[in-house]
Amino acid sequence: TGKFIRLALPDGRTGFALKKEVQKLSKWTKQTFNYELIEKNARRMMGSPYLWGGMSTKMADCSGFVKTCYFANGIILQRDASQQAHTGQVFKWEDWKNDMMPGDLIFIGTKSGRVTHVAMYIGNGKYIHSSGRVKINSLDPASPDYLDYTFLSVSRIKGHIGTQGITAVKAHPWYFNL
């Protein structure tokens, strides 16, 4: 009633949510790639604490954060940063200024090349990630919010849904009997 809608949870309990925050499953699954929605959900999580293995809007690790942001747009990514690094269109880190677009995933790690962290590029040399908490940092070494990371590579998800490790919810058997 009013601003709220009653929801049935999988375990049989019921709850309420704001109507404006809910949409029909059929509408959610028909979404196309929408970077604005992905970024909006990422920014909603600003300040949320880091939790290793976390994968929700309340607490998340770096790969769980990225996975949650994309899932809100009906896109399922691999669970771990080291898996996500091998999906989509992969670019060399050195080409980031020319090639990177908002929504691309930035992979960070060790000097030997082992992926240990993932962030999402949001444009203008900035990225959002879960490191201690969800926050925005800069790729510009002269910026006060620059973090001295070993940047490894960039992966583009846009245009690669349906390829290895990037699945549209509507094409996943957990959600629909195909």
User: Catalytic residues, which ones?
Assistant: 62, 117, 129
Pairing of strands 115-123, 14-18: unpaired
66 CB-near residues (< 8 Å, 6+ apart):
77, 81, 84, 105, 118, 119, 120, 129
Q: Give the number of residues written for the chain.
A: 178
- CB burial string 51-76: b at 16+ within 10 A, e below: eeebbeeebbbbbbbbbbbbbbbbbb
Containing 120, the helix (H) or strand (E) segment is: strand 115-123
Measure CA of the first residue to CA of the last residue in the chain; give whole Å. Answer: 35
